[in-house]
Amino acid sequence: MICANCGGKIHYKKPCSDCGIEYMDMLKGITHPEMKRIFKRMEKIQSEHGDLNLETSLMACELVNSSLIVACRLGDEGLEIVFLPGPKGRQFIALCTDMDEYGKCFDDLIPMTNPWKHVLDLLTEDVEGFVINPLGECCFIGRGLLDEYFLND
């Protein structure tokens, strides 16, 4: 896994091999108050005006520079991502902006943090998108938004 502090390699419950930051200390340091503020504004603007172009662009810029927490479990092949079921057999990946949000959703799973560019690498054909902070200030990022802002370079 990638260290959110320096970009080096880090392993679950072991310090980063490059900067030495402890795994749990790294997770405590990830906060995205600006992203949470944008989520609130998006919800308000959507309900009042139905136009999210500016807010969506701001969120895309914030995500590009973010590290997010993914819920994993220990499986036969090592760490496996936990997917949320969706309609028509599609799956979603739950992402959390910080450990407070992670704690609202997952208490018996392993938190794994990755920069946004590595989070995008988790997408497969069966993954419809991401749900950020599923039980908090929630934001859904579906394939349409991902294609428009992140996947068509």
What are the CA-CA distances from residue 104 to residues 32, 100, 115 (Å)? 16, 7, 21
Encoded tokens for 90: 């599609």
pTM of this prediction exceeds 0.75: no
Identify the pLDDT of residue 86: 75
Share of the chain above pLDDT 90, in %: 2
Please state the length of the chain.
153
CA 48 from centroid of its chain's CA atoms? 27
As to burial, measured by CB atoms within 10 angstroms (0-12 exposed, 13-18 middle, 19+ buried), residue 78 is exposed
Identify the pLDDT of residue 93: 92
Cα distance between residue 5 and residue 16, in whole Å: 9
Strand, helix or coil for residue 127: strand
Identify the pLDDT of residue 142: 82
Identify the pLDDT of residue 29: 54
Which residues lie below 8 Å from residue 56, measured CB to CB, with a gap of 6+? 42, 145, 149
In the predicted model, what is the mean pLDDT of the chain?
A: 75
Residues of the chain with pLDDT under 70: 1-13, 19, 23-59, 61, 151-153
